[in-house]
Structure 1
Amino acid sequence: MTIGNVTDLPDPRVGFFTDTSVCIGCKACEVACKEWNGVPATDVLDFTGMSMDNTGTLGANTWRHVAFIEQRVPSGDTRWLMSSDVCKHCTHAACLDVCPTGSLFRTEYGTVVVQEDICNGCGYCIPACPYGVIDQRKEDGRAWKCTMCYDRLGDGMEPACAKACPTDSIQFGPLDELHERADRRLADLRDAGVEEARLYGRDPDDGVGGDGAFFLLLDQPEVYGLPPDPVVTTRDLPSMWRHAGMAALGLVGGTLASFLLGRKGAAR
């Protein structure tokens, strides 16, 4: 069994690099995403009193979400951390493993897309995602998430969110090039004394094989609402099936042996 359909990743694979150190929280990415993809208005759009963030989280009607985190620093001053979150288009994508209809598929660009006309609304992909990205719409029960503007890529265009970002916080391109760019940016920040800077989703040896959408963060992942050590939730499926198969064979063997012994005893 191939976990996450990673045997056919293209070269070059494309993706997002989001540099949160230059995000200004303008939400242009959220608006551009909704306009291009026809994403409905967010279910709840309120001032929470806890943050300037009025969309809250990723969901079926929010494919880009700009988080606002207010922090008190040791000097007593306040700083804002802002980050535009999105589907990670994982290398090992559990959502692909559990989809029974083939609605979720790996594109020729290495991205992960939901075909809404094939989705049957089973919802298996929702708990399978280690990032909590995928969601169902109340109106029809189908699953929805970022497609990395699959239709735009086919016409040689960059995704709407990256096109709209005024500070280049969201960068799109071949993933290998983005990795090199991110490594240089991290080194520059560290040289400038920003020791807390780190890359998230960049490591191909992490629990999801690295992300197609990765981030430069200025604090721990948990501060941004990201899991610190994401793991593909279907990682243990092959061994589980093997153990289940062995148990089934043992059960069949035991039943057959009991049957034969019973017949032998009856013959006596």
Structure 2
Amino acid sequence: MRSRFFSGPEPDPAGDAGHEDHPPRAGFFTDTSVCIGCKACEVACKEWNALPEDGLSLTGMSYDNTVGLGASTWRHVAFVEQPVPEGRTSLPLVEPGPGTPDPDAADGTGMRWLMSSDVCKHCTHAACLDVCPTGSLFRTEFGTVVVQEDICNGCGYCVPACPYGVIEQRPSDGRAFKCTMCYDRLGAGQEPACAKACPTESIQFGPLDELRERAALRVDQLHTAGVTEARLYGHDPDDGVGGDGAFFLLLDEPEVYGLPPEPVVTTRDLPAMWAHAGIAALSLATGAALSFALPALTRRSGRT
């Protein structure tokens, strides 16, 4: 059963996909404020899913060797280096002792790192799933979106459909690949490999509703501590994709991390497009019928 909706809040994506008596929707909450850029998630993801290497040397863009998400990179740690802005800049994780200079002095002369482990968002309204002609993409009982690589025909429709630019075709065979949220591990009652390997619990896995509550408390904690720029991204069921199954706590604007500020599911306007197409087809049919009927009526009236 395909989704009944193309946009807006959807409380039960798995149930709408036909899964009965399914477990709570699972998801990721990535707290970038405690990410240390160790790349343990990247390594664990590649090892568990047997992904081919796609970057053994530094790119010249910071310490990044994979650049972004792709068919062979399902977790990507972004390293964003930026000048320290005026005002509050450093997280209150360790307070400097007496006489210890603050390396992130708020005089605008320092630098800071913003690190974030990016992943497929497992959207509530997944355009990649909606446009797939073979059924290769499907909604699991956990509410996640998975690609069946043995069914994918390499048409590539899913690639431009994704509002985040996550899914990609592998050049070697043309099939599309992306994060599965370790579907095989979930079925065995285990958490995904990336969350298991994260040493700081920057990547947290669990029921999505619980993660949203935990994330809201974390934002309040940071705001109380003076980190007023902390915000959540992808958590809102009223956003353009109906809320993400993988959402983030960010310390700057989404664009700084390479994320779209206001993502919208690309199939949102399909019902309106079909309605317009139907009206256009009806207009053409009416015009064609009149083009044949009017001459006949004219000839008939002339004989009388």
Name the TM-score, length of structure 2 as normaliser: 0.85
For 1:168, the aligned partner's letter is E
For 2:6, the aligned partner's letter is I
Counterpart in the other structure of 2:236 = 203
Q: Distance in 2 between matches of 1:14 and 1:170?
A: 13
For 1:93, the aligned partner's letter is A
Q: Distance in 1 between matches of 2:131 and 2:5?
A: 12
Counterpart in the other structure of 1:83 = 116
Counterpart in the other structure of 1:49 = 60
Structure 1 residue 29 corresponds to structure 2 residue 62: no
Counterpart in the other structure of 1:3 = 6
Q: Where does the alignment leave 5 or more consecutive residues of structure 2 unmatched? A: 86-106
For 1:41, the aligned partner's letter is E
Q: Distance in 1 between matches of 2:168 and 2:61?
A: 24
Of 77, 81, 84, the residue aligned with 1:70 is 81
Q: Distance in 1 between matches of 2:212 and 2:40?
A: 24
Length, aligned pairs only: 267
Of 246, 253, 256, the residue aligned with 1:223 is 256
> 2:23·2:141 contact (CA, 8 Å) conserved in 1?
no
Of 192, 195, 200, the residue aligned with 1:167 is 200
* Counterpart mapping for 1:121-200 below 5 A: 121-200=154-233
Name the TM-score, length of structure 1 as normaliser: 0.96
Q: Distance in 2 between matches of 1:244 and 1:64?
A: 40
Shift of 1:11: 5.6
Across the aligned residues of Structure 1 and Structure 2, the Cα RMSD in angstroms comes to 1.5
For 1:65, the aligned partner's letter is H
| Counterpart secondary structure, 1:171 | strand
Q: Distance in 2 between matches of 1:49 and 1:123?
A: 30
Q: Where does the alignment leave 5 or more consecutive residues of structure 1 unmatched? A: none
| Counterpart secondary structure, 1:117 | coil
> 2:127·2:161 contact (CA, 8 Å) conserved in 1?
yes
Shift of 1:48: 2.5
| Counterpart secondary structure, 1:33 | helix
Q: Distance in 1 between matches of 2:200 and 2:291?
A: 73
For 1:241, the aligned partner's letter is W
Deviations 1:171-216 (A, max 9, x none): 0000010001101111000000001100000111111111000000
Structure 1 residue 261 corresponds to structure 2 residue 272: no
For 1:38, the aligned partner's letter is A
| Counterpart secondary structure, 1:95 | helix
Of 267, 289, 292, the residue aligned with 1:234 is 267
Q: Distance in 2 between matches of 1:233 and 1:96?
A: 11
Shift of 1:82: 0.5
| Counterpart secondary structure, 1:41 | coil
Shift of 1:91: 0.6
Q: Distance in 1 between matches of 2:248 and 2:240?
A: 16
Q: Distance in 2 between matches of 1:160 and 1:244?
A: 46
* Counterpart mapping for 1:242-253 below 5 A: 242-253=275-286
Q: Distance in 2 between matches of 1:11 and 1:204?
A: 19
Shift of 1:38: 1.0
For 1:155, the aligned partner's letter is A
| Counterpart secondary structure, 1:248 | helix
Counterpart in the other structure of 2:145 = 112
| Counterpart secondary structure, 1:105 | strand
